Chains A and B, each alone.
Chain A
Amino acid sequence: MLEYTLLILLIPVFLFIFLGFNFKRIKEPVSGIIGTVGLGITALISYYTAYLYFSGGINGAIVDGHYAKVYALNTVWIHFSQTLHIDMGILLDPISAMMLIVVPTISLMVHLYSIGYMHKEEGFTRFFAYLGLFTFSMLGLVLATNLFMIYIFWELVGVSSYLLIGYYYNKPSAVLAAKKAFIVTRFADFGFLVGILMIGFYGKSWDFGVLTSEEFITNLSHTFGPAFMGLSIITWALIFIFVGGAGKSAMFPLHIWLPDAMEGPTPVSALIHAATMVVAGVFLVARLFPLYYFMDEGAALNVVAAVGTFTTIFAAVIAFTQYDIKRVLAFSTMSQIGYMMLALGVSGYDGHEGVGFMASMFHLFTHAMFKAMLFLAAGSIIHAVHSNYMQDMGGLRKYMPITHITFLIGALAISGVPPLAGFFSKDEILAAAWEKNFVVFGTGYLVAGMTAFYMFRLYYRIFWWKDTKYEHTPHEAPKTMTIPLLILAVMTIISGFFPFHNFITADGKPFATHFDWIMVGASVGIGLLGILIATIMYKKENILSDRFAAAFGLFYKWTYNKFYFDELYMFITKKIIFAKISTPFAWFDRHVVDGTMNGIGNGTVWISKKIKGLQSGRVQDYAMYFLSGVVVIIMIFWFFYN
């Protein structure tokens, strides 16, 4: 009955193959329309599936009052042992059903938007083909039934991200950025793979249903005691898996690829680098959440919390000083994903304890909506002004009213102003952190204010500041671009009211939440404070901000240069790894390894030359060989038998 869910994957991959093979034949708007319609159908099927799941219309979706995992499809793909096999299938559970709403929605909006945005770009059809590939991979990732399948789609997502960042392949900076993103995430994925293999070797299963089941985890904790640095081998495996997740989700210190990835077309940034792919790390931890929570009393989860907390403030500080509007948004994304990570990190499991988990997923959902909208709005601004830099902007509110309103809604939402979506999810995260750890809470609280400040700095610098004289008068984007913006704006306004705690919780059981009015007041207060400061500093052109920059001097310069992390990595790779390690290895490879291989090759040819006489062409010889073969074999085995 659930076989139709396969269509959710098949339609996007068909779009990819169809558009990819015909990219020269299908011309401009047609391929965009084909892609959008295809995605629309995918979205409808996905919504229907998610609705069926949450409403309990699927057999086995609700067991004893809590949501359970449902295998819509599952077949063994490669078989290793009774319990260990690589499967291919579709798994429905609260978080994958939620992602079935997020991914197709954003992807559909981006498809529609791109028809306008990519107008008259070279390779229009190619772009839509790549979008199809990405959507397919991302949906495969969220629907995967086991660790290995998720890994396969994880890499596919990486490839499509590479292709899309490097879309303008004749632009050197885009090519560099694509390479950087691919290499950094690939490097992190190595950790992921090691983790997967460790889980397979010690846990003897990759299936999510098994991995998250209670008896399996109890069994594991009894079997594996402390192995290294007081942590069990499974915890280390989980930490390795988190390295992979941190790479995709641009967590410190693997974050360096995300800002550069903004070289890709803006719709791509909205889809991949704001809403879907970058939250894959969060999704992965959520997927294995019981394992993270119960192994060694959550040791691996503490790592997640620490990394998330540090990244959230680190990225927020950098966002203060950037001038490229897409980069500000990129750092803001990093910061918000850090938020989700820290929420997972401080979450408990049972009932209301698991509010962090719920808040993290909630924030993932709302963030996807408003951040995609902010990126799309930024895209429409860039489309109008032909620049990424806020120095070239100012006063745009008069020229682009729709973009202005949607951007404002997005900025208010991310600052946590009620009743917009960001307010609810952020409030839950802070509440969860408050119950658990004061440092985490304090950082999160501070970042809430900082977020409001840098977002409104961005907003004012784009839409107010001064009346810039433009060479070409900027004008509002075409309908295909403004409609997705408006739809996402509506989503941003209403998505905060979804009762997430009834559907998506760590243990699958709904729980009751209550507003802690002090917490609400405090978090709204700091958001408003941030907005206020930004208003004073940036509403009208003034020199306040320059003065602040001068006052902070060195620190400002550091921050502006993203704490020199790119330079540090460059130094490590070029000066240390390439020069000191790779060069000797290259020599070894060229002389010893290649030498051996050439030797084997030459040897093979030599032998084959020597033995060609055997094949004489005379049947009597063949009979002779045949008979000698039989005799020799019989003799040998007679000898052994003796």
Chain B
Amino acid sequence: MNWNTLLLMRQELVLTTVILILLVVDVIVKNKKSLNIIAILLFGIYTILGFFPSGNNELFGGMYKNTELIFAFKNILNIGVFLITMISVSWVNKKMLPLNKVAEFYALMFSSYLGMLFMISAGHFLMLYIGLELATLPVTALASYDMFNRKSSESGIKLLLSAAFSSGIFLFGISMIYATGGSLYFNSIYGNIAISYLSIMGLFMIFAGLAFKISLVPFHFWTADVYEGAPTPVASYLSVISKGAAVFVLMILLFKVFSNFIDLWIYLLYGISILTMFIGNFFAIRQTNMQRFLAFSSVAQAGFILLGFLSADQVAVSAVVYFIAIYVLSNILVFAAVQSIGLASNKYNIEDYNGLYRTNPLISIALMFGLFSLAGIPPIAGFFGKFFLYTAAASKGFYLLVFIAVVNVTISLYYYLIVVRAAWLRKSDNPIQFYKSDIFMKISLVIVSTALLVLGLFSPFYEYIFSISNI
């Protein structure tokens, strides 16, 4: 290993440095408010660094690897985290500034993200496991960060317990794979593991551990309670970054490491996809709290993502990666709107949004864009995300599943439109008062809305993802 190969993991190294700097600066700087800007700047530099090209290579004997696709995926998530950082500022200023916990918040979030980077780049099960733990533990702290709010504490402890439980199962699965495959390196397991009772058990336990993160049914129960109680920026982080990273890892495991199990897992995904879409939708319909509503909506979206897995080829990879890129943006947009409204008025229920358009037209437009994109209404990018997922499933002849998915999109349209209707058409005697968002919130809302519109019409992005999509 020399300097050049070490540069391969420069993202992880730089991010670690960023975290350390943040902790040090926290001690030095007197004006705690400026820590927000420092965090954004540092993470911004880190994000930009990600756009310098990188090589295809492995490190530490295959424990860590980087390919063009992994690199691009990290960039997508980088942008997501960057946007969440910008959005967090107003929340942090209001709730954490008085407690002097500004830098901590960002340091924890970036640490968790560091874990995800290792997860994505892992080439070894233990590396994956450590990444997974590093990704989870700081988030449990973040979820209970709103310390005078009982719901937030509840959310933290529930996440901690559920995550611990799922980690246990995940580790158990890994040990079985080691028992049957004789190695923990992805490269050595790939093609060398026979289908047996034990390996099936191992595979599905590992699957369960990741499905927990993606919140697939029946491993999704924590989602609603945690999202509802967690601070909004943390909920959005969980719903897009955490989920996206886990989906990507699952894709690597299923398409590459366990590719000879395809006849088994493809039916598992088929079934789970249907279950997840339906359960997510059925629960989402009845919700009144926005964050809880978005939790179930994100469960249902996870079901759609599985649709893309079914073709198990280049089309599948590009469809899923593209969908996640769009999903990251759309969900962040909606969460940002929810957070900004929640902070200004302390209202989180759908009913409270009645008459929003009359008092705050711009935030209503952003909210509508996000929801339309989640629902998949053309020409907003969300439509193309879903479209490519259908194409992937249909290309292998899963027409029935595509049909079921379309039925589910219709159901989801209903509840997304309920929110839009509340904001745009309903009248209210006591609407949310006009308020002004801070500059970071404004910038991120504008960036994301524009990106959603442009990506819907701008095809080279998909073509690029398609061209690098080989696992």
Chain A contact residues, CB within 8 Å of chain B: 75-79, 88, 601, 604-605, 607-609, 611-612, 614-615, 617, 619, 621-623, 625-630, 633-634, 637-638, 640-641
Cα–Cα, bound, A611→B158 (Å):
21
Q: B134 at interface (Cβ–Cβ under 8 A)?
A: no
Among the listed B208, B225, B283, B286, which residue makes an inter-chain contact with A630, where contact means beta carbons less than 8 Å apart?
A: B208
B283 CB contacts on chain A under 8 angstroms: 608, 611-612, 615
Which residue of B has the minimal Cβ distance to A606? B282
Cα–Cα, bound, A612→B165 (Å):
23
Q: B59 at interface (Cβ–Cβ under 8 A)?
A: no
Q: Is the CB of B200 within 8 A of A634?
A: yes
Which residue of B has the minimal Cβ distance to A621? B221
B387 CB contacts on chain A under 8 angstroms: 78
Q: B61 at interface (Cβ–Cβ under 8 A)?
A: no
Q: B201 at interface (Cβ–Cβ under 8 A)?
A: yes
21 contacts between A and B (CB under 8 A): A77-B459, A79-B462, A79-B463, A604-B282, A608-B283, A608-B286, A619-B161, A619-B222, A622-B221, A626-B162, A626-B212, A628-B218, A629-B208, A630-B204, A633-B204, A633-B207, A634-B200, A637-B204, A638-B201, A640-B267, A641-B264
Residues 319-341 of B, flagged 1 when their CB comes within 8 A of A and 0 if not, give 00000000000000000000000
Q: Is the CB of B285 within 8 A of A623?
A: no
Among the listed A601, A615, A634, A638, which residue makes an inter-chain contact with B221, where contact means beta carbons less than 8 Å apart?
A: A615
Residues 179-217 of B, flagged 1 when their CB comes within 8 A of A and 0 if not, give 000000000000000010100110011011000100000
Which residue of B has the minimal Cβ distance to A78? B459
Which residue of A has the minimal Cβ distance to B411? A604
Q: Contacts A76-B463, A615-B224 hold; do A625 and B201 have CB atoms under 8 A apart?
A: no
Cα–Cα, bound, A614→B222 (Å):
12
Nearest Cβ on chain A to B84's Cβ, whole angstroms: 26
Add 15 more A-B contacts to A614-B221, A634-B201 (CB < 8 A): A78-B387, A604-B411, A605-B285, A607-B282, A608-B285, A608-B286, A615-B283, A622-B158, A623-B161, A627-B169, A633-B204, A633-B207, A637-B204, A637-B264, A640-B267
Q: Contacts A604-B411, A637-B200, A640-B264 hold; do A622 and B162 have CB atoms under 8 A apart?
A: yes
Interface centre among B166, B208, B411 (most CB of A within 10 A): B208
Q: B178 at interface (Cβ–Cβ under 8 A)?
A: no
Q: Is the CB of A638 within 8 A of B197?
A: yes
Q: Is the CB of A634 within 8 A of B204?
A: yes
Nearest Cβ on chain A to B434's Cβ, whole angstroms: 21
Residues 246-284 of B, flagged 1 when their CB comes within 8 A of A and 0 if not, give 000000000000000000100110000000000101110
A629 CB contacts on chain B under 8 angstroms: 208, 218-219
Q: Is the CB of B286 within 8 A of A609?
A: yes
Q: Contacts A619-B161, A623-B162, A637-B264 hold; do A611 and B221 have CB atoms under 8 A apart?
A: no
Interface SS of chain B: helix, strand, loop or mixed? helix
Cα–Cα, bound, A609→B283 (Å):
8
Which residue of A has the minimal Cβ distance to B217? A629
Which residue of B has the minimal Cβ distance to A86? B459
Q: B460 at interface (Cβ–Cβ under 8 A)?
A: yes
A-B residue pairs, 8 tightest by C-beta: A629-B218, A608-B282, A622-B221, A77-B459, A630-B208, A619-B161, A623-B165, A625-B218
Q: Is the CB of B158 within 8 A of A619?
A: yes
Cα–Cα, bound, A10→B414 (Å):
36
Q: Contacts A75-B463, A638-B197, A641-B200 hold; do A626 and B166 have CB atoms under 8 A apart?
A: yes
Cα–Cα, bound, A487→B281 (Å):
63
Cα–Cα, bound, A88→B205 (Å):
46
Which residue of A has the minimal Cβ distance to B208? A630
B197 CB contacts on chain A under 8 angstroms: 638, 641
Cα–Cα, bound, A607→B197 (Å):
36
Which residue of A has the minimal Cβ distance to B463? A76
Cα–Cα, bound, A622→B219 (Å):
8
Q: Which of B428-468 contact A (CB under 8 A)?
A: 459-460, 462-463, 466
Cα–Cα, bound, A629→B285 (Å):
24
Q: Is the CB of A622 within 8 A of B459?
A: no
Q: Contacts A622-B162, A626-B212 hold; do A641 and B221 have CB atoms under 8 A apart?
A: no
B268 CB contacts on chain A under 8 angstroms: 633, 637
Nearest Cβ on chain B to A595's Cβ, whole angstroms: 16
B267 CB contacts on chain A under 8 angstroms: 640
Q: Is the CB of A622 within 8 A of B222?
A: yes
Which residue of A has the minimal Cβ distance to B407? A600
Among the listed A75, A604, A614, A617, which residue makes an inter-chain contact with B460, where contact means beta carbons less than 8 Å apart?
A: A75
A621 CB contacts on chain B under 8 angstroms: 221
Nearest Cβ on chain A to B382's Cβ, whole angstroms: 15
Q: Is the CB of A626 within 8 A of B208?
A: yes
Nearest Cβ on chain B to A131's Cβ, whole angstroms: 23
A604 CB contacts on chain B under 8 angstroms: 281-282, 285, 411
Q: Is the CB of B221 within 8 A of A630?
A: no
Which residue of A has the minimal Cβ distance to B296? A615
Cα–Cα, bound, A90→B268 (Å):
46
Q: Is the CB of B221 within 8 A of A75?
A: no
Cα–Cα, bound, A626→B414 (Å):
29
Which residue of B has the minimal Cβ distance to A611? B282
A78 CB contacts on chain B under 8 angstroms: 387, 459
Cα–Cα, bound, A413→B280 (Å):
70
A634 CB contacts on chain B under 8 angstroms: 200-201, 204-205
B224 CB contacts on chain A under 8 angstroms: 615
Which residue of A has the minimal Cβ distance to B282? A608
Cα–Cα, bound, A622→B222 (Å):
7
Nearest Cβ on chain B to A617's Cβ, whole angstroms: 6
Which residue of B has the minimal Cβ distance to A605? B285
Q: Is the CB of B161 within 8 A of A630?
A: no
